[in-house]
Structure 1
Amino acid sequence: MENKQRLIGIVLAILGASFWGLGGTVSDYLFRHQNVDINWYVTARLLVSGLILLFIFKLLNPKLTIFSIFHNIQSTIQLFIFSIFGMLLVQYSYMASINYGNAAVATLLQYIAPVYIIIWFVLRKKANFKLFDLIAMLLTISGTFLLLTNGSTHNLVVPSSSVIWGIISGLSLAFYTIYASRLLVKFPAILVVGWAMIISGLLMNFKAPIWQFSITQLNFANVSYLTFGIIFGTAMAFFFFIKSLNYLSAKETTLFGTIEPVMAIVASAFWLKVSFLPYQSLGILLIIILILTLSLKKEQER
């Protein structure tokens, strides 16, 4: 029975991470080939996914109210801060990095977030700077330099706008991860993320209303990819990944989460025909090693 539950957890974690990785690549396809507006897409992605997650929460917890997070003024303020500077900034910057570059690079730049977290805790003197931290930073600098320049000090092989948004994505994910703990100690993750998506989606709706999407742009391919990107690449990916924690340890789930950037790279290369130069490939390898090292780290979580 224990082995069966563990298998369920592994399948859920792999599905969640894979859907996240493929969701980024599908977004890349929609921006490149279907001319989907990034602002509208972020609005739809946040609002629809948020509603789905709250629906799932209510379905699993029929006796609990979805509005419990608003019963306390402090929690409400924290939720709005998390929604704007965490959820909205993470989602928009990640999509913008994909829009100006590609899903593989955007995902790798976002996955550097744990290194920003290490630096933050060291600067705040909440953790001592250790050899592991130095290795992580060297891997980050080396891998990112090779990924973005292919070893040349004279020019970038990735558009600078994609790089800037990718860095913002990593920094905002670091904030997202650190700040979320204030809410997650009091409320279920699916409830926190569901409301954060809806609040940030409503804010985006002022810039790009969800109803302002021309029906003439819709065809079977668009509908299929939009459905996957919004529902499976966002809402269900998060739900599967969180659900896997019922069967696996947080460290194991995080380890399986490293499938996301690998999936984004493979899908970008084989489906979207994104090519990587030799030193870029070495940079990708170094960043993947960094991600795996951070996941396998046996030190107690910071």
Structure 2
Amino acid sequence: MNNRLKGILITVFAGICWGFSGSCGQFLFDNKGVISNWLVPIRLITAGTSVLLFLLVVDRKKVFAPWKVKRDAKEMLIFAIAGMALCQYSYFTAIQHSNAGVATVLQYTGPILILAWLCMKQKRLPRRFEIIALGLVLGGAFLLATHGDLTTMTLTKPAIFWGVISAVALAIYSVQPERLLGIYGSLATTGWGMFIGGIVLNIMFKPWTITGVTVDGGTILALFGVIFFGTILAFCMYLTGVKYIGSTDAAMVSCVEPIAAVLFSAVWLGESFEFIDIIGMVLIIAGVLIISLVKDRG
């Protein structure tokens, strides 16, 4: 298996993990009194600590290596705050001010920003297959998030603001750590990004002071799904995919997330599954296949 195919498969798996995590998060929001100011800080600090402890066991030298070089330490802080923490918080805040459909559609404009950055960096125009693939995955994500019904999009000013911020943060998260990934790998980069981002958000929102959250077996299991599958596995896999196939392709391939979210929600949470959702899935899969099969990268 070549590195490109490996990167695509790893990124697809990351998207599936995010989709499952989204269903776990929706379960917590709807049934356990959980809010984003409680969930996001806890998921990041727990996941970051777990990844760093694991790395401490398997490769002790890499754990603190990023902090020995001033430039790398600065870039790690930018990634943790402007990429990891901001991406997570802005997305869930957009949901609170609207709904998951609006937040998903707005965040998935991020690949447009990533493609624009890549074209400026390489001093070229977007290639035809890139435009087609991007249009397909964005169209598919839109259909899955809204079921083709524009009336479900509650576009309040705060929702638009935080949705756009989440798209920008997604672009930063995908592009900014590429050099760090090449030096320190996905575990160290992701672990420190989560840990520092978690510290910042815990200081800001003090989740231990938030009341009204029901903590029982269901909460713990769903929280495990959010932290292990949707945070540790998903982010490590996604950044590994970025390392293999680049930020633009990884961002588009990860758009399989809405497919997984719809399927998990239909099977687990009993949400409706419509024909328009199948069309959305087909569009996303077609876009991913175009990215996967086109060999001539110019």
Query: How would you bin the TM-score normalised by the shorter chain?
Result: 0.7 to 0.9
Counterpart of 2:187 (choices 185, 190, 193) is 190
Q: Structure 1 residues 76, 291: CA separation in 2 closer, same or farther (over 3 Å shift)?
A: same
Q: Structure 1 residues 276, 172: CA separation in 2 closer, same or farther (over 3 Å shift)?
A: farther
* Structure 1 runs not aligned, ≥5 long: 3-7
1:89 matches 2:86: yes
Aligned counterparts of 1:258 and 1:266: Cα–Cα separation in 2: 14
SS in 2 for 1:173: helix
* Structure 2 runs not aligned, ≥5 long: none
Aligned counterparts of 1:38 and 1:10: Cα–Cα separation in 2: 30
Residues 1-302 of structure 1: pairs in structure 2 closer than 5 A: 16-62=14-60, 64-99=61-96, 100-102=98-100, 106-107=103-104, 110-124=107-121, 126-139=123-136, 142-143=139-140, 156-160=151-155, 165-214=162-211, 217-239=214-236, 250=245, 259-275=256-272, 282-283=279-280, 285-300=282-297
Aligned counterparts of 2:202 and 2:102: Cα–Cα separation in 1: 27
AA paired with 1:66? V
Question: What TM-score do the two structures reach when normalised by structure 2?
Answer: 0.77
Question: What TM-score do the two structures reach when normalised by structure 1?
Answer: 0.77
Q: Percent identity?
A: 31
Q: Structure 1 residues 142, 43: CA separation in 2 closer, same or farther (over 3 Å shift)?
A: closer
Q: Cα offset for 1:185?
A: 2.5
Q: Is the 8 A contact 1:94 1:165 kept in 2?
A: yes
Q: Is the 8 A contact 2:129 2:290 kept in 1?
A: no
SS in 2 for 1:186: helix
Which of 70-79 and 136-145 deviates more? 136-145
AA paired with 1:52? S
Number of residue pairs the alignment of both structures matches: 288
SS in 2 for 1:199: helix
SS in 1 for 2:209: coil
Relative to total residues, which structure has the larger helix share, 1 or 2? 2
Which of 171-180 and 205-214 deviates more? 205-214
Deviations 1:62-101 (A, max 9, x none): 3x15211111211111111111211112111233344442
AA paired with 1:266? L
Q: Is the 8 A contact 1:149 1:280 kept in 2?
A: no
SS in 1 for 2:183: coil
AA paired with 2:286? I
Aligned counterparts of 1:15 and 1:278: Cα–Cα separation in 2: 24
Q: Structure 1 residues 240, 135: CA separation in 2 closer, same or farther (over 3 Å shift)?
A: closer
Q: Is the 8 A contact 2:104 2:141 kept in 1?
A: no
Q: Structure 1 residues 52, 108: CA separation in 2 closer, same or farther (over 3 Å shift)?
A: farther
Aligned counterparts of 1:294 and 1:107: Cα–Cα separation in 2: 21
Which of 158-167 and 168-177 deviates more? 158-167
- Residue of structure 2 equivalent to 1:5: none
Q: Structure 1 residues 299, 58: CA separation in 2 closer, same or farther (over 3 Å shift)?
A: farther
AA paired with 2:35? D
SS in 2 for 1:88: helix
Q: Cα offset for 1:197?
A: 0.9
Aligned counterparts of 1:45 and 1:256: Cα–Cα separation in 2: 24
Q: Is the 8 A contact 1:143 1:286 kept in 2?
A: yes
Q: Structure 1 residues 160, 105: CA separation in 2 closer, same or farther (over 3 Å shift)?
A: closer
Q: Is the 8 A contact 2:47 2:227 kept in 1?
A: yes
Q: Is the 8 A contact 2:33 2:212 kept in 1?
A: no
Aligned counterparts of 2:105 and 2:288: Cα–Cα separation in 1: 9
Aligned counterparts of 1:106 and 1:25: Cα–Cα separation in 2: 15
Q: Cα offset for 1:239?
A: 4.4
Deviations 1:142-163 (A, max 9, x none): 55665677667xx542232556
Which of 125-134 and 138-147 deviates more? 138-147
SS in 1 for 2:177: helix
Q: Is the 8 A contact 2:38 2:210 kept in 1?
A: yes
AA paired with 2:38? W
Aligned counterparts of 1:90 and 1:245: Cα–Cα separation in 2: 17
